[in-house]
Amino acid sequence: MTAAFTFPGQGSQAVGMGKALAEAFPQARAVFDEVDAALSQKLSALMWEGPEADLTLTANAQPALMAVSLAALRVLEAEAGLDLARDAAYVAGHSLGEYSALCAAGAFTIGDAARLLRIRGDAMQKAVPAGEGAMAALLGLEFEAAAAAAAEAAQGEVCQAANDNGGGQVVVSGSRAAVERACEIAKAKGARRALMLPVSAPFHCALMQPAADAMQEALAAIDIKAPVVPVVANVHAAAIQQPEMIRASLVAQVTGTVRWRECVAFMASHGVTTFYEVGAGKVLTGLVRRIAEGAEGVAIGTPDDVAAFKARPRG
């Protein structure tokens, strides 16, 4: 098998996402209904009608993005005969997308995934008082240089590499003043650009420890099954299938670096040549081309994308 199925993270949300799938396919509609029921909230109405500011809230964006990914996956299974156990070498997801990947591979139910992501989103938002944390994208520096800039900028505060996205794109996270210092240090080290990001909290850094504690408690109450396909975990950049290792990696992920560049490189080095991005947006598809030379990225999030997938030769 030469295909991997990947699932996007926060930032890919947009008002209207998933609506065309729900209108065209009952399997998609069923997923949105299941998520609405699990959360006792009409999240689907917020996704399709907005307002955008409410959809962007971490506690809404995380389960919403998972819902779109699983809706698209269920449609691929029904319409194109997709069987991950047969057709995928690996699954992986960027940050919250790891929950989508695990759910897709049968590690836990859609309802459990929705509830976990609501807890995760709430806990991440509450972990740091508004305005005290920040994130910034450093463009044009490789990971080691960006991580060094973050360490130099910390000066007793928290500042660390949060996302290694590949293609010379590294996101740093931590205390606002430290992140601002990291931007200046990165520019001095040759970064092409250093941009403060419009995020509501400093994700994937030590300041998120209260959220990691909340996830440890929440995940302890969930039945996790061995996924039918190995999951390439953010914090390991390697394939895992043991339920207890999955549980521990999801806790570690809250404060740890999303090693996406290494995750994609791992899959490519193990024979993956096509990366299907299932869900909203095309962020991961764009990153694939910068990480794995010669690999193909294919985004699947609309009825037209489903039709194109059905028409593709797969082997």
Element (H, E) at 216: helix 209-220
Give rounded-to-5 percent helix, strand, coil for the chain.
Answer: 50, 15, 30
Radius of gyration (C-alpha) of the chain in whole angstroms: 18
pLDDT of res. 312: 87
Q: Average pLDDT of 15-22?
A: 97
Q: Average pLDDT of 174-196?
A: 97
Q: Average pLDDT of 231-258?
A: 98
pLDDT of res. 39: 98
Question: In a 10 Å sphere around its CB, with 0-12 CB exposed, 13-18 middle and 19+ buried, how is residue 191 labelled?
Answer: buried
For residue 97, name the pLDDT band (cuts at 50, 70, 90): very high
For residue 162, name the pLDDT band (cuts at 50, 70, 90): very high
The set of long-range contacts for 307-314, using a CB threshold of 8 Å and a minimum separation of 24, is: 309/76, 309/80, 309/82, 309/276, 310/79, 310/80, 314/3, 314/87
Residue 258 has what DSSP assignment? B
In this predicted structure, the answer to whether residue 1 has a pLDDT above a threshold of 80 is no
Tell me the percentage of the chain whose pLDDT exceeds 70. Answer: 99
In this predicted structure, the answer to whether residue 221 has a pLDDT above a threshold of 70 is yes
State the CATH architecture for 3-127+207-311: 3-Layer(aba) Sandwich (3.40)
pLDDT in tens, 20-33: 999 999 999 999 99
Q: Average pLDDT of 88-112?
A: 98
In this predicted structure, the answer to whether residue 138 has a pLDDT above a threshold of 80 is yes
131: Cα separation from own chain's centroid: 23
Cβ neighbours of residue 46 closer than 8 Å, sequence gap 6 or more: 54, 55, 60, 64
Q: What is the residue-averaged pLDDT of the chain?
A: 96
Distance between CA atoms of residues 109 and 35, nearest Å: 10
pLDDT of res. 314: 67
Tell me the percentage of the chain whose pLDDT exceeds 90. Answer: 95
Other residues' Cβ atoms within 10 Å of the Cβ of residue 145: 18
Q: Which of 202, 200, 174, 212 is nearest to 54 (CA)?
A: 200
For residue 11, name the pLDDT band (cuts at 50, 70, 90): confident
What are the C-alpha distances in Å from 59 to residues 114, 117, 211, 222? Answer: 10, 7, 12, 19
Q: What is the pTM of this model?
A: 0.96
By annotation, the residues acting in catalysis are 95, 204
| Cβ atoms 262, 164 nearer than 8 A | yes
pLDDT of res. 315: 54
User: Minimum mean pLDDT among 10-14, 45-49, 168-172: which range?
Assistant: 10-14
User: Which CATH fold would you assign to the domain 133-199?
Assistant: Alpha-Beta Plaits (3.30.70)
pLDDT of res. 31: 98
Q: Which of 114, 99, 146 is nearest to 40 (CA)?
A: 114
Q: Average pLDDT of 75-83?
A: 97
Query: What are the structural domain ranges in the chain?
Result: 3-127+207-311, 133-199
